[in-house]
Structure 1
Amino acid sequence: MKSRKIAGLIVQSNNSRTGRIVVLTGARQTGKTTLIRHLFPDYEYLSIEDPVMRGQYAKLTASQWKELFPMAILDEVQKKPVLIESIKSVYDQWPNPRYLLLGSSQLLLLKKVKESLAGRCVIHEFFPLTLPELRTSSWDDPVEDSLFQKFLQREDHSAWLPSFVFDRKMAEKQKAWDHYLLFGAYPAVSEHVLSEDEKYSWLKNYVRTYLERDIRDLASFRDLEPFIQLQRYLAINTGCLINASSIANRLGMTYKTVQRYIRYLEISYQAVVLPAWSQNESKRLSRMPKIHFMDNGVCQAVLQKKGGVTGKEFESLIIAEIYKQIANINFAAKLFHLRTYDGKEVDLIIEMPDHYLAFEIKMANTVSSADVKNLRSLKDFLNKPLKQAFVLSNDIETKYFDDNIVALNAAMFLG
């Protein structure tokens, strides 16, 4: 099994005074259950996915929960939201019971959960593996921070930017990167014992299971075909702007249906919706968000595609990786893209309290000064200093430009 960076944060939360209820949400098959059972072997494991057992659990009083299950893991708790009321009641009456609630969608968006757990829980989100996690081989392996994560956590943002030397670590990073491009980062497809065909088959089955089970937790569908149609359309257009009205007209759906289906993909951790940065009213900026599939392997499976990636898929998989790595170190930041009405765009802007970081993403093997022109003009739009700008690509050479712009190899920076 691969080691997980977030494990330490979860244990820390559980040990804290505010961590009597810890909520862990993330897509199915990301390894939530395996990790939590490994970290907390003394906790009773309760699968709420079992329809018979969840009915029995729902009948238990708060006192019975306290006596029978004073420390428990409730897995797939979104299947029976009424159980949240029971856990809340135990929390309010006794100081010692502790619970870990696992779910395959963003639980706190469910009204009952949001109302019951407000102020009573610590929340963590769980994602497919990051590139540094892909390089581990067991639970006990330390997960090294990527150069990107080290950059985020350093005060000095200038002195250490790397010039890469091809060594063993670089070879490991490149191997993880090559796997990530082909198969994504779900734990099951990271196992070396599987053949390429077996990995593609797993991803295909994952998409089928998602449609048959996970999406039905969020809504009642009489006909899944419209959702499947939209899912495929967005997979084709990952890395692109979302114009819900245009999509609705193209697919023969209502605007509200398109918006709702996109939200389902987002709260079930299949996609990241990246809002447009539009804090400068004096500039003509697009307000349309962008869609990025969370996992390239799943995106490829939705499209029934094998092999290489497009430029937009390359952009999406890098932004998804950055998104995961920020979450894994519990770093406070907001992510945006920026696009002007005359077509100038910056793929990713990360907002921090007193400055911004910016990223251009190119699938090219060579970066030139022409690739940084939009980054050079970005400071004219922003309302806080641009601390550092990056071009991430396949170019193995580190290149420095003026205006605090540096071009780095994506695999080395994120791996």
Structure 2
Amino acid sequence: MASRLAQSAPSEGQRTDEEKGLGPGAAARRLDAAGTSVVVRRCIEDPELIHYDSQIVKYVTRAIESAVDRAARSFPAVVLTGPRRAGKTSLLQHMFPNASYFLLEDPELVARVRADPQGFLDAARTPAILDEVQNVPEVFAHVRARIDRRPRRAGQWMLTGSQDAPLMQGVTESMAGRAAVLRLLPFSARETPKVSLLRGAYPEVVARPGAARLWFSSYVQTYLERDVRAALAVRDLATFRRFLALVASRHGQILNKTALAAPLGVSVPTITQWLGVLETTAQILIVPPFYENLGKRLIKSPKVFIADSGLACHLLGIDSQAELAKSPFIGALFEGFVAFEVAKIQANAGQRQQLYYFRDEQGLEVDLLVPGRSGEIRLIECKAARSVTPSDAAPMQKLAEALRRTRRTPVSVRLDLVHEAPKAGATTSAVAPGVRALPWQGFLDTM
């Protein structure tokens, strides 16, 4: 199956004239004899095409589709979480084209559902997609009641939400054992080679990289006005915007809440609450430390990244490859990019996130650590450079030696030195005994 490249574009009935192709664009202005835009007609005739802002683009298959399909065959309900504009709606509408669809962000519909949730669901044809369902938590109990009437009927309710905390609270309280929960993140590099460090992976940016600056500005504003205000009832959104920029400036660093609170003039509990909002809306990636009894004093605070590298670059004021190459943040941005790609691979397989870093008080640090099957451990060092040296692998070698020495049973430790490389030079080489140097594209193929 495939999903739309313009993942978050609204349905045809909800689009503005410009989004329907009636604005600038010669192709969109060309009409056939019936008065239909040539672009729109081509999309109607070929279901593998979509129309987005006067452009025709091909679907991009989402890696999570097989997991969604299995879930829909096994559970009465499927809950799809993930950040706003990652493509949840488009994925479900493509996979379940005959399902009825309800966007629970429309004020009139929300008011109607809250007034009579039972009547709303009685009139809804199943299978049904309830989009942004966390806005109307009243429906959870009624969906559960309908599931309990026909518990063996799978794939009847598809629920999406951009705020994990309220969504999962409703699922936990009302639908335990009745729903499969999956997480959709923006495009992965496995899904499209157009994912990049500078522009990131949001579908609409991938479709139109030239409009990235405007898109990210609009995205941040929408995020503040909808998700942040809804989650916190924050009155001073300007301070929260400064907080978001401050988190970006700490990209890839060990989390220090006091250092975030001081320049904003807010309390540490407030910072904790705000970080929780960023995490539950999938705007940040939290990488916890790896704990192991190695006879060392370990750093116990997590690292924090802005999840999407394109959004991180936008918040840091990086708008071109030249600016990125000169930026003091390029190393941290590359590390976060690789980390988020690993998180996407795990999420697309329906797995929980297993991604860590290691650092002790003597300064030994390894960027990423990923537990594998059968007890294997992968140590990953990320270098935003075209070439690497044996010294780059030294921290991983020291940690691998400590792991092998302290474990009671033999452990397989895999060491990968991940770096930037020209596509033509995407080869694997050994830079030190037991260490592989791979361009990031090749590394992801091994995950």
The TM-score normalised by the length of structure 1 is: 0.83
1:199 to 205, 212, 225: 212
1:73 to 101, 111, 129: 129
Tell me which residue corresponds to 1:222: 235
Assess if the C-alpha contact under 8 Å between 2:161 and 2:167 holds in 1.
Answer: no
Tell me which residue corresponds to 1:269: 282
**TM superposition shift of 1:53:** 1.1
**TM superposition shift of 1:414:** 2.7
Relative distance call for 1:113 and 1:216 in structure 2 (3 A) is: farther
**TM superposition shift of 1:250:** 3.8
Whether 1:285 and 2:298 are equivalent positions in the alignment is yes
Relative distance call for 1:259 and 1:7 in structure 2 (3 A) is: same
Amino acid at match of 1:25: T
Assess if the C-alpha contact under 8 Å between 1:63 and 1:90 holds in 2.
Answer: no
Whether 1:111 and 2:141 are equivalent positions in the alignment is no
Whether 1:182 and 2:198 are equivalent positions in the alignment is yes
Amino acid at match of 1:323: A
**TM superposition shift of 1:62:** 4.7
Q: 276-285 vs 32-41, which deviates more? A: 276-285
Q: How does 1:12-411 map to 2 (within 5 A)?
A: 12-16=70-74, 19-60=75-116, 62=118, 65-66=121-122, 68-95=124-151, 96=153, 98-107=156-165, 110-135=168-193, 176=194, 180-191=196-207, 194=208, 196=210, 198-280=211-293, 282-308=295-321, 309=324, 310-331=330-351, 334-352=354-372, 354-382=375-403, 383=407, 385-395=411-421, 396=425, 397-402=427-432, 404-411=434-441
**TM superposition shift of 1:238:** 0.8
**TM superposition shift of 1:296:** 1.1
User: In structure 2, what is the Cα distance between the partners aligned to 1:92 and 1:133?
Assistant: 37
Amino acid at match of 2:381: E
Higher gyration radius (CA): 2
Runs of 5+ unmatched residues, structure 1: 136-175
**TM superposition shift of 1:59:** 4.0
Assess if the C-alpha contact under 8 Å between 1:315 and 1:361 holds in 2.
Answer: yes
* Alpha-carbon RMSD: 2.2
Query: How big is each residue's C-alpha offset from its partner over 1:253-298, in whole Å with a ceiling of 9 and x where there is no partner?
Result: 2111111111111110111100011232631110011011111111
**TM superposition shift of 1:225:** 2.5
Relative distance call for 1:281 and 1:110 in structure 2 (3 A) is: same
Q: How many residues align?
A: 368
Relative distance call for 1:351 and 1:323 in structure 2 (3 A) is: same
User: In structure 2, what is the Cα distance between the partners aligned to 1:365 and 1:235?
Assistant: 25
User: In structure 1, what is the Cα distance between the partners aligned to 2:148 and 2:126?
Assistant: 13
User: In structure 1, what is the Cα distance between the partners aligned to 2:167 and 2:160?
Assistant: 14
Identity of aligned pairs, percent?
30
User: In structure 2, what is the Cα distance between the partners aligned to 1:64 and 1:331?
Assistant: 34
User: In structure 1, what is the Cα distance between the partners aligned to 2:214 and 2:353?
Assistant: 36
